[in-house]
């Protein structure tokens, strides 16, 4: 099961966070800082999965942006690793060549996309066109 999805930059600043298991607001910043420290300290040739407390982190780096997913021990790490990439590909498709400012200036849309992919900590949709369908429909209505 997926516990959270984080997007952070190299400076450790959170760019997106979504929790699927309740974590108090006051404890999030600390957890995120700790998680980021864990991932940033790793070298490129090291494994993309890190044990963190009683769960695991799967992280993937895209230029200056890190996407970190917290998963329980029962999850298939490699499938989550690829899920992250699928997410990035979806973003890339929607924004036609995504850059980090897209994410910042369209935080709501990125969240809407993520909501189509993961719910309650489970992967609910991976088909790119289906993931984007509701959001494109909304965009069309808003424009038209």
Partner 1 sequence: MSDVVEKTLTALPSLLSLDSQPGSAKLSSTSKLGNLIRGITELTSKHEEEKLIQRELTSIKEQVSSPNTSMRQMKELMVRAIYCEMLGYEASFSYIHAIKLAQQGTVLEKRVGYLAVSLFLNENHELLLLLVNTVLKDLQSTNLIEVCMALTVVSQMFPKDMIPAILPLVEEKLNHPKEIIRRKAVLALYKFYLIAPNQVQHIHNKFRKALCDKDPGVMTASLHIYLQMIQENPEGYKDLTASFVTILKQVVGGKLPMDFNYHSVPAPWLQIQLLRILSLLGKNDQSTSEIMYDVLDESLRRAEMNHNITYAILYECVRCIYTIHPKSELLEKAAKCIGNFVLSPKINLKYLGLKALTYVVQQDPKLALQHQMTVIECLDHPDLIIKRETLELLFRITNAQNVRVIVEKMLEFLRISNDDYTTIDLVGKVAELAEKYAPDNEWFIETMNTVFSLGGDMMQLDIPNSFLKLLSEGFESEEEDRKLRLFAVDSYVSLLQGEPGKLPQRFLQVISWVLGEYSYLREELEPATVLRLLAKLLDMKNTSSETKSWVLMAMTKLCEGGAAVSVAQEVSETYSNSMDTVLRQRAQELEHLSQDSELRARVLPRDGGQEPLEVDSSLSFLDGFVSEALAAGAAPYKPPHQRQEELAQAKALSLEPYSLSLPISVSSCSIADRQSPTLLSMSSGLSGDSTDISHKGGATTLKLDGVKRVWGREGYLAQKEPVEEAAHVEVPSPLRSPSQQGEADNSHSQTPTPTPTSEPEQEKQQLASSLFVGLGSQSSVCLMEKCEPTAQRFRRKAKSQGPSSGASEQTSNSLVSTSNTVDNLLCDNVLDTNISSEPAISSPKQTSPLSQRQKGLGLCDIKGRNPSLSKDNCVAANDHAPHEDPDRPKDLCLSSHLPAELSGLPHSEITPLSSNQSLDLSACHVQKEDSLVLVVFIYNSCDSDIQQILLRLDSDELEVSCVCDSPMQEVRSHSVAACQYSLTVKRPSVHVEVGGTVSYQLTVGTLQSVQFSYKLPLTSFIRPLTVSTEEYGTMWLAFSHDTKQNLTLISDGQESLTATLNVLKKKLQLHVVEIIGMEGIVACQLLQDQPCLMHCRVHVGTLAVWLRSPVPDLPDCLIYHCQRALQEH
From residue 32 to residue 71, the character string flagging contacts with partner 1 as x (rule: CB under 8 A) and all else as - is ------------xxxxxxxx-xx-----x-xxxx------
Output b/e per residue, 78-97; b: 16+ Cβ within 10 A. Answer: eebbebbebbbebbeebbee
CB of 53 to partner 1, least distance (A): 5
Task: Decide: 52 and 38 in contact? Cβ < 8 Å.
Answer: yes
Residues 102-133 as b or e (16 or more Cβ within 10 Å = b): bbeebeebbebbbebbbeebeeeebebeebbe
119 lines the binding site for partner 1 (CB under 8 A)? yes
| Binding-residue total with partner 1 (CB under 8 A) | 70
* Per-residue tokens: 52: 């963190």
Residues of the shown chain interacting with partner 1 in the complex, contacts defined by CB under 8 A = 13-14, 16-18, 22, 25-26, 28-29, 44-51, 53-54, 60, 62-65, 76-79, 81-83, 85-86, 88, 92, 95, 97-102, 104-108, 111-112, 115-116, 119-120, 122-130, 133-134, 137-139, 141-142
């Amino acid at each position: 099961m997926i516990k959270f999805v984080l997007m952070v930059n190299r400076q450790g600043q959170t760019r997106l966070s979504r929790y699927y298991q309740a974590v108090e607001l006051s404890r999030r910043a600390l957890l995120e800082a700790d998680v980021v420290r864990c991932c940033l300290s790793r070298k490129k040739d090291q494994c993309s999965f890190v044990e963190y407390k009683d769960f695991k982190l799967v992280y993937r780096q895209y230029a200056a942006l890190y996407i970190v997913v917290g998963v329980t021990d029962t999850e298939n790490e490699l499938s989550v690793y690829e899920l992250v990439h699928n997410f990035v590909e979806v973003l890339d498709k929607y924004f036609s060549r995504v850059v980090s400012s897209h994410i910042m200036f369209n935080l709501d849309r990125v969240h809407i996309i993520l909501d189509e992919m993961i719910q309650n900590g489970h992967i609910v949709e991976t088909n790119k066109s289906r993931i984007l369908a509701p959001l494109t429909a909304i965009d069309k209505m808003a424009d038209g």
